[in-house]
Amino acid sequence: MNPATILVLEDDANLLNLYTRVLSKVGYRVYPAMTLTTARELLQQHNFDIFISDIGIGSLRSIELLRQEIDDLNNHKTIIIIVSGREEARYMCEEIGIEFFLHKPVSPSELRTFVERLLQQRVTMHTN
């Protein structure tokens, strides 16, 4: 079975490197993006199993990208996880149908466990 592919959109270079390193170490194929433009290009080139995104990217919000791409992401059964330090971000996500949210700061073990659990649930759903 091929490793899961994960797009990580985070404008903080330290967090992007941390998330990429933690998930790559487990064996996932991780595509890092620091800008909405890069994330949009990667979304057009690949079908991702998981899209992990910070809600605020520079002065922009990834929620706008998600609103534009949500149908394609849902069609590809991409799991979307929003990571934010702001609780109101959770409600913005729920409004457009995103149910998975991690509150910053996210520990490496929390991120790894959360991703593993979601992927396992997806496998279980597809085999039943």
Nearest-angstrom CA–CA distance, 127 and 97: 24
Quick one: pLDDT at residue 60?
64
Nearest-angstrom CA–CA distance, 16 and 2: 23
pTM: predicted TM-score of the whole model, two decimal places: 0.92
In a structure prediction context, what are the per-residue pLDDT tens digits for the chain, which is 128 residues long? 689 999 999 999 999 999 999 999 999 999 999 999 999 999 999 999 999 999 887 666 788 888 888 889 988 899 999 999 888 888 888 888 899 999 999 999 999 999 999 999 987 766 65
DSSP 23-49: HHHHT-EEEEESSHHHHHHHHHH---S
Nearest-angstrom CA–CA distance, 73 and 59: 24
Query: Domain coordinates of the chain in residue numbers?
Result: 5-127
Nearest-angstrom CA–CA distance, 35 and 39: 6
Quick one: pLDDT at residue 128?
59
Beta carbons of 36 and 21 less than 8 angstroms apart: no
CATH number of 5-127, picked from 3.30.365.10, 3.40.50.720, 3.30.479.30, 3.40.50.2300: 3.40.50.2300
Quick one: pLDDT at residue 65?
83
Nearest-angstrom CA–CA distance, 36 and 22: 22
Nearest-angstrom CA–CA distance, 97 and 57: 20
